[in-house]
Structure 1
Amino acid sequence: MISVLIAEDMHMVRGALVALLNLEHDIKVVAQVASGDEILPAVRQWQPAVAVLDIDLPGKDGLTAAAEIHDAGLPCRTLILTNLGRPGTVRRALDARVNGFMLKDAPPDKLANAVRQIAVGRRVIDSELALAAWESADCPLTNREIEILRLTSQGQGVSDIATRLFLSPGTVRNYLTTAVTKLNARNRMDAIRIAQEAGWM
């Protein structure tokens, strides 16, 4: 039996994923969470074989959580589900060492098959998406700059971000200025738009 953790913040979608996978004779959903901050503790507690992670979650995003699972040396493999098939997003997934990357509009039977493939150590990434990722431009931003842009896009102010990341407000402003400069953006909001459209955050 392949044990699975589902991380999805939309209740209806999460319920549908759980129901879909529990219909399979060899797959059992053992845990479900609604935010990125819950993923690593749940993986430690339930020890699933595969974690199916939405890329856009409150708190930590799915790619950050996937990287944490890998860096912690846990045996859980990761499958990212997303609406975003942009090359930059796929590259970020590959950099986070995820085991699979699927679009949410894929046929339902593909999800169960992907979980099975990943559970036995294979990688499941759409070939066209992978090729596009290799051909796309590298992201000029550092992980910290991306993180601060993402938090800014969620409406958090400089002081809130500084407190959350244990940085000074001045340091946060410097990161934002650097990101704006690297992306040749007009301002912070333009930098967020450029990074989102490229799939870098």
Structure 2
Amino acid sequence: MPRLAKTAYTEQPWRIHELTSDFSVEDVWSFRTPGAGPDDFPAMLAALRAAGGPAKQPLPVRFLFAVRWKLGAVFGWDKPSAGVGERVTSLRDRLPGDLHDAPRGPDDEGMPLTAVYELDRESARELANKTVHTVMHLGWVQGTDGDHELRMAVLVKPNGRFGRLYMAAIAPFRHLVVYPALTRQWERAWRERHNAETEYEEGGSR
């Protein structure tokens, strides 16, 4: 199953642990990437960017995002004053010297999360609003079948009781609609990129 125990994230030696001791682990999800090797994390990130963000998701997911942004506009959840650098400080302010000097990774206007850092085996992005400060961490690990796979951890720091209620309310939608659709999109993105690279290499060797 794509959903994993939280220990699948906490037991890995990720650098993000140095920055998020005051966050809780909300979800851990896996994405199958058959044929992937230990050095393919940058290729996976490139495939995800090419696949597009929420705008490329199926209609039910786009509908949920549209409802969420509409509610945010009505109740002021997403005002700049509630975001990173305003209501909360960015995780980039916590980075040790070596991470601060590492590549940050590109920001995408189609994605509401902003880059914190990007390494050869992991990356982190963050988002804050009136409900939570959240981090999406992507890591590259060896799966049980020998291939490497992508794992996503969602870390959250709710904004008080309202933030905790908000996270509880959206949990069924994340688990039953958003994450399964994301799994299909991201796994397809890997297959398409991997197949294209394989065909190119086979064509070049003839």
Give the structure-2-normalised TM-score: 0.24
Q: Taking structure 1 as the reference length, what is the TM-score of the superposition?
A: 0.24
Give the number of the structure whose residues are more often strand, by fraction: 2
